[in-house]
Amino acid sequence: MSLDTSAVVETARMTSPIGELELVARDGAISEIRLVEPAPPGDPAHEPSPAPPGASPSERTALDGVLTAARRQLAEYFAGRRRTFELPIAADGTPFQRRVWRELAEVGYGQTATYAELARAIGKPRAARAVGAALARNPVPVVVPCHRVIGATGDLRGFGLGGVSVKRSLLDAEAGVVRTRA
């Protein structure tokens, strides 16, 4: 994914049940969510980064607002109190990828779809592998729920935000399944 270097970009981190997340906002919208190594308590990484030089007060306010909203909504999701997200998204991708991501956003909380079902839904029934490749490039996982896509036989396939174990934990949480580590 390429970011426009003229765009105003800001980041914030938050702790979640799946690990430390870095949220990236660009021009007033969430553009990326990444899993990063946990930061120690009190680390300044838990606060929004300073606005880039030259960012206007209104640009800073928009970025702070969207990052704060994203952190709040993700925290509510992880606590089981939110099923949908109401965030502006600026996900860079090809027209095909954006089409897949839009369809993916229709897969509801606690539901799953297969790669083939998504391919059919976008009118490309033979494009299940291409759908998988588009999901692998999803820059805003959890919010655009690629963890809800499974193989045709119900098997869990890759998940860029921490692998299959994180995918399983998100699906289990949405299904109300509580698992403990052995």
CA distances from 176 to 46, 106, 109, 110, 171 (A): 28, 20, 11, 9, 9
Categorize the per-residue pLDDT at 27 as very low, low, confident or very high, splitting at 50, 70 and 90. Answer: confident
**Which domains are present in the chain?**
9-78 (3.30.160), 95-175 (1.10.10.10)
Catalytic residue among 146, 149, 166, 170: 146
Query: Please, is 31 exposed, middle or buried when counting C-beta atoms within 10 Å of its C-beta (0-12, 13-18, 19+)?
Result: buried
Q: How far is the C-alpha of 170 from the C-alpha of 83, rounded, in Å?
A: 12
DSSP code at position 59: H
Cβ(117)–Cβ(152) below 8 Å: no
pTM of the model: 0.79
Cβ(34)–Cβ(178) below 8 Å: no
Handedness of CA 143, 69, 23, 74 (dihedral sign): negative
Q: How far is the C-alpha of 95 from the C-alpha of 129, rounded, in Å?
A: 16
Q: What is the pLDDT of residues 68-87, one digit of tens each?
A: 999 999 999 999 999 999 99
112 is catalytic: no
CA distances from 59 to 51, 54, 70, 177 (A): 9, 10, 17, 41
DSSP code at position 48: P
Q: What is the pLDDT of residues 121-153, one digit of tens each?
A: 999 999 999 999 999 999 999 999 999 999 888
Decide if pLDDT at 22 tops 70: yes
